[in-house]
Amino acid sequence: MPYQTTVGAQVYRFADLKTLLAKASPARSGDYLAGVAAATYEERMAAKLALAEVPLKRFLDEALIPYEEDEVTRLIIDRHDRAAFAPISHLTVGDLRDWLLLDSTDSATLEAVRWGITPEMAAAVSKLMRNQDLILVAKKCRVVTRFRNTIGLPGHLSVRLQPNHPTDDVRGIAASMLDGLLYGSGDAVVGINPASDSLPTLMRLWQMMDEVREHFAIPMQSCVLTHVTTQIQAIEAGAPIDLVFQSIAGTEKTNSSFGVSLAILREAHEAALSLGRGNLGDNVMYFETGQGSALSAGGHHGVDQQTCEVRAYAVAREFRPLLTNTVVGFIGPEYLYDGKQIIRAGLEDHFCAKLLGVPMGCDVCYTNHAEADQDDMDTLLTLLGAAGITFIMGIPGADDIMLNYQSTSFHDALYLRSVLGLKRAPEYEEWLLRMAITEPSGRLREIGKGHALLKDLPRLGAA
């Protein structure tokens, strides 16, 4: 079905909904690379005007990727809740923006409709919103998950402690882990990106993290970010796995390039649940996403990269994850060219995920060949903190020595908590206080050489 609008004497026509969404998307290098972006600012604005008039019901009738060709499309359509959709079914995309911004549209209202909103609807409305709109609405979205602690409560910010090492040296990883714990990081997850896919090597990492957790009675969860099929094998071999990780995308073809499918993810989800390791909840999955992955895999089907990204959140919410995060600037300037594009993408991803009920964090990051710097990341970090981001990364010195990109440090989390008055997960806060790592206010204490973590952790067998 074609769409059109007139600006002055110029009539702009868009062949289908997929084209309209792409042309209305804020400028980014990945869409230019894919050949789907608006050619001019005028065309982009015309597309926004036309998109604002599209009824939300239209998204249920016109699939961007055919139902018969893509299992993510089938998931989106089959899981759509028409009862949840009913209160907003009469709205256009522009009306939805206005409704989301109303003071009367509160957290409970947004939670009630989330399963009635498709990813394409969320992506569409985000394209009509200013940055402040994305922040305001995301702040109202509440997504709370639990495993050994509680993630996503209002006024809280969690941190993934990321103690990577280029050779998977257990002592080096344990040292980074100790550093992060003493800075009060790790309440989201202690998650290692391994250099190896050797099961014996990975088993040592799982065992070390679990030994540290048990010895100090830390209310945390751990994860090794290897391929999901390897984690299924490790579960069968008796590994102490808390969260199962996988990178996911918004099309079947892209997920296939990652070596996964919905069936494989279901198998992993069931395997993790069978372990029953969470004492507070059963949110056992951890997903990562990022704009541009579908294009790099040749699996975008002509859909703009932001809409492809939001479709990945349909995959995520199917498995009730504890955590999901967008690795926003990791792929590089081919997809998000500069700081302005990275900031916009981070706010879009967070807004769309939270609107759909996904517990969203962000790896606020960039590669050294992008037109971005640490000031851009500070800006995005602060904006996401104001928007109610679920968690961020905590990496020693903000420089990942294994993955070679710039992210956020333990100090960045301290900054954000101080400026915005954000707390850690409540169970983790209690542990930090009990271990004399923080004051009752949440501020860090001076740590002496006799502290239990400094004395005991180096003596643990696995560490």
**Domain locations in the chain?**
4-140, 145-435
CB 297 within 8 A of CB 161: no
The response to whether 221 counts as a known ligand-binding position is: no
Strand (E) or helix (H) holding 209: helix 199-216
Our CA dihedral for 364, 394, 135, 83, rounded to 10 degrees, sits at 100
Mean pLDDT throughout 252-276? 98
Task: Look over the chain and give the mean of its residue pLDDT values, rounded to a whole number.
Answer: 96
Q: Is 100 annotated as a binding residue?
A: no
Q: What is the DSSP letter of 64?
A: S
Q: Which of 342, 448, 427 is nearest to 153 (CA)?
A: 427
- H or E segment at 347? helix 339-355
Q: Give the tokens for residue 333.
A: 């300037």
Residue 63 has pLDDT above 90, yes or no: yes
Distance (Å) of CA 180 to CA 111, 184, 190, 232: 34, 6, 9, 28
Quick check: 356 and 122 in contact, CB under 8 A? yes
pLDDT tens column, 197-209: 999 999 999 999 9
Is 179 annotated as ligand-binding? no
Q: Comparing 4-140 with 145-435, is the CATH topology the same?
A: no
Write the CB contacts of 7 (distance below 8 Å, at least 6 apart in sequence): 42, 45, 46, 49
Q: How confident is the model at residue 459 (pLDDT cuts 50, 70, 90)?
A: confident
Residue among 350, 354, 273 nearest 317 (CA): 354
Instruction: Tell me the β-bridge partners of 10.
Output: 7
Find the mean pLDDT for residues 28-51.
97
131 among the known binding-site residues? no
- Whole-angstrom distance between the N-terminal and C-terminal Cα of the chain? 61
Sort strands 150-151 and 145-146 into parallel, antiparallel or unpaired.
Answer: antiparallel
Q: Is 185 annotated as a binding residue?
A: no
Q: What percent of the chain has pLDDT over 90?
A: 93
What CATH code is assigned to 145-435? 3.20.20.70
**Structural contact between residues 166 and 399, judged by C-beta atoms closer than 8 angstroms:** no
288 is in an annotated binding site: yes
- CATH 1.10.220.70 for domain 4-140, yes or no, is yes
The mean per-residue pLDDT over the stretch 390-409 comes to: 89
Residue ranges with strand state E in 256-358: 285-289, 323-327
For the record, the structure tokens of 260 come out as 């996964």
Residue 279 labeled ligand binder: no
Is 193 annotated as a binding-site member?
yes
Q: What is the pLDDT of residues 90-143, one digit of tens each?
A: 999 999 999 999 999 999 999 999 999 999 999 999 999 999 999 999 999 999
Sign of CA dihedral 110, 386, 358, 293: positive
Whole-number percent of the chain with pLDDT over 70: 100
Q: What is the pTM of this model?
A: 0.97
Average pLDDT over residues 319-347: 95
